[in-house]
């Protein structure tokens, strides 16, 4: 009986230990750390860093000036493009106007003079026609009067057409070419203005200036980040889940994140579940979980809750 009791007690103890081990295995507490997705701000154009308006660790709001690169060449191109645009617009306006008022007045005076001459030529031709009929005027005088009357009438027609043309302005094709030149000049002006604007960058959103990568006076290559901005909504928690528990997590599910220094856990929403397993990261190694295959899971905080959080902080995540 004593041997039976000892065996029974041993079996009960083994069962308790087994259940305790299973309970630890099925625990819904996971290890992880905070991660930040940084916004690296740069200019698409190269230049010397003239002014760095913020320091590392500063908290900025959207629209805050961050840095300015030297703009000498871009400002010169902007002034040149502005003058070329003015020139093209003036040329187009001149094409649309036609000739100047003084030139139109001169043509109008010549037309009046030609009409007077045509009237005089017509009267002379009428008189000579009667004299030629009565055989008083010679054929030569008659022909000369007739030709003078015809030439005067054609001159009136010619000057009238010139005046009408002068009032119309340039031909439609010439005006279309002028409009194209003006549009091209405006596009060059817009491009020059864009280049000047790109040399000064402002914060696209509020956040923490996590790091500055250049000092004033240094040359910055095109598209090279000058500083790293960390908006609070870009802070997330990254934790690792064993395969047995991975299937129970769903995107959009809320988890509790415990962080040292915070009185109460913070809520986060699962935003990403990795489809590929990996070994436990070295930062989470311990005797129990090292060399185990796990799945990475990410969860995001509300922007106001993540305002005082810092990437790299270790956390514990519970469902």
- Kindly report, residue by residue over 145-197, the tens digit of the pLDDT: 888 888 888 988 888 887 777 776 667 788 889 899 999 999 999 999 999 99
Number of structural domains in the chain: 1
Q: Is 253 among the domain residues?
A: yes
Q: Is 277 among the domain residues?
A: yes
Integer Cα distance of 254 and 273 in angstroms: 13
Q: Is 165 among the domain residues?
A: no
Residue span of the structural domain in which 299 resides: 28-39+231-318
Least confident of 50-64, 108-122, 289-303: 289-303
Domain of residue 242, CATH code? 2.40.30.170
Least confident of 201-210, 258-267, 284-293: 284-293
pLDDT at 16 exceeding the cut of 80? no
Q: Is 47 among the domain residues?
A: no
Q: Is 145 among the domain residues?
A: no
pLDDT band at 1 (very low <50, low <70, confident <90, very high): very low
Q: Is 9 among the domain residues?
A: no
Q: Is 269 among the domain residues?
A: yes
Q: Is 5 among the domain residues?
A: no
What is the secondary structure of the chain as a DSSP string? -HHHHHHHHHHHHHHHHHHHHHHHHT--EEEEEEEE--EEE--SS-EEEEEE---TT-EE-TT-EEEEE--HHHHHHHHHHHHHHHHHHHHHHHHHH-S-HHHHHHHHHHHHHHHHHHHHHHHHHHHHHHHHHTT-S-HHHHHHHHHHHHHHHHHHHHHHHHHHHHHH-S-HHHHHHHHHHHHHHHHHHHHHHHHHHHTEEE-SS-EEEEEE---TT-EE-TT---EEEE-GGGEEEEEEEEHHHHTT--TT-EEEEEETT-SSPEEEEEEEEEEEEEEPPGGG--TTTTT-EEEEEEEE--TTTTTT--TT-EEEEE-
What would the pLDDT profile of 207-244 be if each residue is shown by its tens digit? 999 999 999 999 999 999 999 999 999 999 999 998 88
């Amino acid at each position: 009986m004593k041997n039976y009791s000892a065996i029974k007690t041993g079996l009960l103890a083994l069962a308790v230990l087994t259940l305790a081990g299973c309970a630890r295995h099925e625990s819904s507490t996971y290890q992880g750390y905070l991660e930040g997705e940084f916004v690296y701000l740069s200019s698409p154009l190269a230049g010397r860093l003239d002014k760095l308006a913020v320091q590392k660790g500063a908290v900025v709001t959207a629209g805050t000036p961050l840095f300015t690169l030297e703009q000498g060449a871009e400002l010169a191109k902007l002034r040149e493009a502005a003058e070329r645009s003015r020139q093209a617009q003036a040329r187009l306006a001149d094409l649309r106007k036609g000739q100047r008022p003084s030139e139109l007045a001169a043509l109008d005076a010549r037309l009046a003079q030609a009409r007077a001459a045509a009237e005089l030529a017509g009267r002379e031709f009428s008189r000579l026609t009667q004299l030629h009929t009565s055989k008083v005027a010679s054929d030569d005088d008659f022909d000369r009067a007739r030709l003078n009357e015809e030439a005067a009438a054609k001159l009136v027609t010619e000057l009238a057409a010139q005046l009408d043309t002068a009032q119309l302005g340039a031909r439609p094709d010439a005006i279309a070419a002028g409009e194209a030149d003006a549009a091209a000049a405006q596009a060059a002006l817009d491009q020059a203005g864009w280049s000047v604007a790109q040399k000064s960058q402002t914060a696209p959103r509020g956040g923490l200036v996590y790091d500055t990568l250049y000092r004033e006076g240094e040359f910055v290559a095109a598209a090279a980040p000058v500083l790293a901005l960390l908006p609070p909504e870009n802070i997330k928690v990254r934790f690792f889940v064993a395969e047995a528990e991975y299937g129970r997590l769903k995107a959009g599910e809320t988890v509790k994140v415990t962080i040292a220094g915070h009185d109460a856990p913070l809520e986060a929403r699962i935003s990403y579940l990795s489809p590929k397993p990996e070994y436990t990261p070295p930062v989470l190694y311990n005797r129990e979980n090292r060399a185990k295959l796990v799945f990475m899971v990410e969860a995001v905080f509300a922007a106001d809750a993540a305002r005082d959080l810092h990437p790299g902080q270790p956390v514990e995540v519970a469902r």
